[in-house]
Amino acid sequence: MRAIAAGLLSLLAVASAATGKPAEAPAGAKSALQTEASKDRRPVELVCDRMEVFHRKRLAHCTGRVTLKRGSMLLNCDKLEARYGEDGEIDKAVCTGHVHFFLPPKAGEDEEGSEPKEAGGERADYEAEPEVLALTGKPWMRQGDSVVRGRRIVYDLSEDRMVVEQARGRLKLDRKPEAEPRR
């Protein structure tokens, strides 16, 4: 049903433009916002049980089993509000309720020490450029044996950089073997 509903969004877009009212997508709809990406940007795929698209405002509201996917990154939540640009690509999104983020190791990383990253909280603010995720509402982030919690966690996906406000938790730092001393 979720895949079949994708074709109906084109019809909803025409109806919405004609009436000036928001389009309502059927349960399981796949976003019409999924478009071909430019060379620098990967497309964002948005799937949910119910979607309302306000074309004039470039705004989409999603509820129920929401999944936002960009490349190998997955972001799941109960409710999402997304803003998109003229190109149809999602620029910003706010996820609320049971937020869960997952990012597998990058292709080509050595097997040792490369583990997926997971994070969660009650709210996530996502920006596509630069690709940044800010978690609040009892946020946490985990990679392997390392787990960190704080008041707010900001993760820059493009830089693989995390900033934690009021941090607490355990952090396992991998030490690279030191080079043998010169003789």
Res. 69 pLDDT band, cuts 50 70 90: very high
Six-digit token string for 94: 């706010």
Report how far residue 17's alpha carbon sits from residue 160's, in angstroms, rounded to the nearest whole number.
40
Q: What is the DSSP letter of 30?
A: B
The residue with greater pLDDT, 71 or 16, is: 71
Asked whether residue 118 is assigned to any structural domain, the reply reads yes
Asked whether residue 78 is assigned to any structural domain, the reply reads yes
Condensed to tens digits (0 to 9), the pLDDT of residues 8-60 reads 232 233 333 333 444 444 444 444 443 333 334 678 888 999 999 999 999 99
The residue with greater pLDDT, 175 or 30, is: 175
Under a CB-based contact definition with an 8 Å cutoff, are residues 122 and 112 in contact? no
**pLDDT at residue 19 in the model:** 37
Asked whether residue 182 is assigned to any structural domain, the reply reads no
Report how far residue 170's alpha carbon sits from residue 141's, in angstroms, rounded to the nearest whole number.
11
Asked whether residue 36 is assigned to any structural domain, the reply reads yes
SS3 of residue 49 by DSSP:
coil
Asked whether residue 69 is assigned to any structural domain, the reply reads yes
**pLDDT at residue 36 in the model:** 31
**pLDDT at residue 78 in the model:** 98
| pTM for this model (two decimals) | 0.72
Question: For 146, how many CA atoms within 13 A lie in the half-sphere containing its CB?
Answer: 16
Report how far residue 85's alpha carbon sits from residue 119's, in angstroms, rounded to the nearest whole number.
27
Condensed to tens digits (0 to 9), the pLDDT of residues 100-156 reads 999 998 766 555 457 999 999 999 999 988 899 999 999 999 999 999 999 999 999
CATH of the domain at 121: 2.60.450.10
Phi-psi region of 73 (alpha: psi -120 to 50; beta: other; left: phi over 0): beta
Six-digit token string for 89: 């690509």
Under a CB-based contact definition with an 8 Å cutoff, are residues 132 and 126 in contact? yes
Q: Where are the beta strands (DSSP E) in 55-116?
A: 59-70, 73-84, 90-103
**pLDDT at residue 182 in the model:** 60
Under a CB-based contact definition with an 8 Å cutoff, are residues 62 and 80 in contact? yes
Asked whether residue 178 is assigned to any structural domain, the reply reads no
Condensed to tens digits (0 to 9), the pLDDT of residues 82-92 reads 999 988 889 99
Domain membership of residue 107 as a residue range: 4-170
**pLDDT at residue 2 in the model:** 38
- Number of domains within the chain: 1
**pLDDT at residue 44 in the model:** 82
**pLDDT at residue 169 in the model:** 94
